[in-house]
Chains A and B, each alone.
Chain A
Amino acid sequence: MSDKVIFDEDGLLRTLKRLAHEIMERNAKLEEISLLGIRTGGAHLARRLQSLIEEISQVKVPLGILDITLYRDDLGGAASQPEVRGTEIDFDINSKIVVLIDDVLFTGRTIRSAIDQVIDFGRPKSIQLAVLVDRGHRELPIRPDFVGKNVPTAREEQVKVELKEEGGKDKVVVRPRANA
């Protein structure tokens, strides 16, 4: 079996534009919004959404980057610690609407870690979740507010998100585990 393409470059851009519109539609007061991208894929997508929102509305919403490593529930399980790359939030999130952004929503454990971390920074008015791909298999009661695409997958399959910020071309594929 070979890779199944979910998004190519054009498809990704169209979907991100739609997500930007949906986020703005849901949150009429743009000055209340801030975007928090989850490292690494979510951080790149958050940057793109920030500039798409700015193109559409001329408003630059605050953008932060979350590294959820220190909040993981599986530390010490692996052979060694994952590398920590740092969280960057240089604005006040109190009373803001925080939109978490990630590339792939799977078990929901990353989002749990992200929510815990956000709350250590203050008390946002609300937290929303935008993801590029929802692949199912949730292990926690977590539901996205904005979804690029629902992609039914088998548990052992992999969803690979390649973004040009990492040096390649924009492409999202589902890959059978055996070829990974």
Chain B
Amino acid sequence: MSGRVWKRKDLLGLKDLEAEEIELILDTAESFQEIGNRPIKKVPTLQGRTVVNLFFEPSTRTRISFELAEKRLSADTVNFSTDISSTIKGETVKDTAKNLEALQVSLVIMRHPSSGAPHRLARYLKCGVINAGDGINEHPTQALLDMFTVRQKKGKLKGVKVSFIGDILHSRVARSNIWGLTKLGAEVTVCGPRTLIPRDAEQLGVRVTTNLEEAVDGADVINLLRIQLERQKESFFPSIREYAITYQINRDVLKKAKPDVVIMHPGPVNRGIELSSDVVDGPYSIILDQVTNGLAVRMAVLYLLSGVKS
């Protein structure tokens, strides 16, 4: 039996991946899940390797999830975040890369406010780079864990109807999900105010609607995107209140949904804006499954990438 083989040095986005590569990550993640249930939740796989978490943008759950995944694989971890790193002192990405190389690290996890920053870093570095979110471009590990969770709950991805609701325009989570889900045969709908839907959305192979009822009707999965309050300075819609009235998922809206619909959210949730509080904590919500699965998915990615020689 010859196993499937991962060949890429970096994981920068789902746009570049083949369907088989995505499936390999998801299947590997399934094998890693069990480690979280052991009395000793740690395997020696990445012993003696150093992973650097370079976060140029605030992050709680992604950073914690990566760090825990690294520790469960026995890697040594180093954290840089904006407030302590030297980019605020004017260092370029290239110089940062050279310095990391001099420290002989094995993998770099990078989050950056500019789209394409991890791609640039990856070109300068011999070691692997994992994109943990770049600008409004991609957030591949989040999309992979979303896909993993959908597959876990629905048993498959092919033909599953997934609706994204909210700020699609600024959402790297939505973008990565769209690339990944369409490659594996899911049917994707995006829904939100027209001003928050990218103009080229239809070309990505998704259905576009501004009508919430249409997005909810028949959906197997509803994935809510956070209204990025920090990006609402140039008013994309009249007010948060009006947004909530038109696009909030609450118990009333869900009456029109399929009985086995599941609600996802990449977090952090703005309770009472995109999602009502009772739905966040309700039976349809699989938001915490996403968090748990994120760990297995990130372990799988770290494992696969750390085998590739540059």
A→B interface (CB under 8 Å) = 40, 67, 70-71, 75-76, 78-88, 116-117, 120-122, 166
Contacts and interface: CB of A to CB of B under 8 A. Distances in A.
A82 B307 CA distance: 9
B17 to A, nearest CB: 16
A121 B42 CA distance: 10
Contacts of B43: 70-71, 117, 120
Given A40-B1, A86-B34, A75 B45 contact: yes
Contacts of B55: none
B307 A75 contact: yes
A122 B39 contact: yes
B303 interface: yes
Interface string B11-45: 00000000000001001101111100011101111
23 contacts: A40-B1, A70-B73, A71-B43, A75-B45, A75-B307, A78-B307, A79-B5, A80-B5, A81-B303, A82-B3, A83-B3, A83-B5, A84-B28, A84-B31, A84-B32, A84-B303, A86-B30, A88-B34, A120-B38, A120-B40, A120-B42, A121-B39, A122-B39
Nearest to B31: A86
A67 B31 contact: yes
Contacts of A120: 38-40, 42-43
Interface residues on B, range: 20 to 34
Nearest to A167: B1
B169 interface: no
A110 B4 CA distance: 21
Contacts of B309: 79
B307 A81 contact: yes
A75 B74 CA distance: 13
B271 interface: no
Contact of A76 (B27, B300, B307): B307
B203 to A, nearest CB: 34
A82 B24 CA distance: 11
Given A75-B45, A81-B303, 5 more contacts: A40-B1, A70-B73, A76-B307, A84-B303, A87-B31
A88 B34 CA distance: 8
Contacts of A79: 5, 307, 309
A148 to B, nearest CB: 22
B141 interface: no
B6 interface: yes
Contacts of A121: 38-40
Interface string B50-68: 0000000000000000000
Contacts of B33: 86
Nearest to A71: B44
A121 B35 CA distance: 10
A81 B42 contact: no
B39 A83 contact: no
B306 A81 contact: yes
B308 interface: yes
Interface string B99-115: 00000000000000000
B98 interface: no
B7 interface: yes
B34 A70 contact: no
B304 interface: yes
